[in-house]
């Protein structure tokens, strides 16, 4: 696993992430759910196939602050992907 810095983006305090399930698993534990959401969104809008496991989160920063603390980052990734696709269907 590569070095991942700590996330300092404001999305760490976005109340949207409070509804994510708690996660205390192994690989993606403590990854920033906000950055994971953004990565999923980025993948969808750029036609990158949706990841099938949380290894896609290897390069995103860690975060244990605010609303993303102990939240499931892979669920956030999937939510971001789904959100981007839903916007594309409306447009």
Is residue 89 predicted with pLDDT exceeding 90? no
Is residue 85 predicted with pLDDT exceeding 70? yes
Show contacts of 50-56: CB within 8 Å, 24+ apart.
Answer: 50/78, 50/81, 51/77, 54/27, 54/28, 55/27
Note whether residue 79 is domain-resident.
yes
pLDDT of residue 34: 96
Grouping H, G, I as helix, E, B as strand and the rest as coil, residue 78 is: helix
Note whether residue 3 is domain-resident.
no
How far, in Å, CA of 65 to CA of 12, rounded?
Answer: 6
pLDDT of residue 3: 57
Note whether residue 4 is domain-resident.
no
Contact 22, 74 (CB under 8 A): no
**Angle at CA 74, nearest 5°, toward 87 and 19?**
70
Domain region containing 86: 10-90
pLDDT of residue 27: 78
Is residue 1 predicted with pLDDT exceeding 70? no
Better-predicted residue by pLDDT, 91 or 69: 69
Note whether residue 2 is domain-resident.
no
Is residue 2 predicted with pLDDT exceeding 70? no
Contact 15, 64 (CB under 8 A): no
Grouping H, G, I as helix, E, B as strand and the rest as coil, residue 47 is: coil
How many domains are there within the chain? 1
Tens of pLDDT, residues 14-71: 999 999 999 888 778 889 999 999 999 999 999 999 999 999 999 999 998 999 998 9
């Amino acid at each position: 696993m590569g070095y991942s810095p700590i996330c300092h983006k404001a999305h760490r305090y976005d109340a949207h992430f409070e509804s994510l399930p708690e996660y205390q698993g192994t690989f993606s534990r403590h990854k920033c759910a906000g950055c994971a959401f953004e990565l999923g969104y980025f993948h969808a809008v750029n036609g990158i196939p949706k990841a099938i496991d949380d290894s896609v989160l290897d390069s995103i920063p860690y975060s244990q602050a605010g609303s993303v603390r102990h939240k499931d980052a892979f669920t956030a990734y999937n939510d971001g992907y789904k959100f981007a696709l839903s916007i594309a269907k409306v447009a």
